[in-house]
Structure 1
Amino acid sequence: MRYFAIVESHDGEYGVSFPDLPGCVAMGATPEAALSNAVLALRDWSATYLRQEPLMPTPSSEQAVRQAYEGDIAPGAALALVALERPCLRVGC
């Protein structure tokens, strides 16, 4: 399962947020570090979510994300696909 993430620069660091997954965010000193941290954040977010819900939210298409956030994505921001390698049922698995 893969989710689109928005990668933005914030005061010399990079932030990643997932439009389909409220509260799932990550930071890093470089875009690569932020995306690496986003993989971990997605895994941990899914662990918490799956304790309360039976299935993960359906990932939006790129077009749906762009339409939903048109005008809200900062100039220079990028969309990236982040894979949820294996959903787990505990944080840090």
Structure 2
Amino acid sequence: MSPLRYAVLVSPLSPEDGGGFLATVPDLPGCMSDGETPQEAISNVQDAIESWIEAAHDMGWDIPPPSKRAAIG
């Protein structure tokens, strides 16, 4: 199966939250990761997407298709 491409939102984290950047995947509830740079956050969230899909599959959940939003990464 070819990898699914999901939209990723990247936002800066406050210094109180450790700084860096947060990458979230709106189509996959709770799927997120962070990194020191936006690129690192996007790279890290790709692993989170794979883990999210694997866990959903193992639990018998439906895996939502990527929305029509532009995918990043």
TM-score of the aligned structures, taking structure 2 as reference length: 0.78
Aligned residue pairs: how many?
66
In the other structure, the counterpart of 1:15 is 22
- 1:4 is paired with a residue of what secondary structure? coil
Q: C-alpha displacement at 1:80, in angstroms?
A: 4.5
RMSD between superposed Cα atoms in Å:
1.7
5+ long unaligned stretches in structure 2 = none
In the other structure, the counterpart of 2:7 is 4
Separation in structure 2 between the aligned mates of residue 80 and residue 34 of structure 1, nearest angstrom: 14
5+ long unaligned stretches in structure 1 = 63-78, 83-93
Which range moves more in the overlay, 48-57 or 16-25?
48-57
Q: C-alpha displacement at 1:56, in angstroms?
A: 2.0
Q: C-alpha displacement at 1:81, in angstroms?
A: 2.4
Q: Relative CO higher for 1 or 2, CA cutoff 8 Å, sep ≥ 6? A: 1
One-letter amino acid matched to 1:20? D
> Which one of the candidate residues 16, 28, 39 is aligned to 1:32?
39
Q: C-alpha displacement at 1:52, in angstroms?
A: 1.8
Runs of 4 or more, structure 1, over 6 Å off, are: none
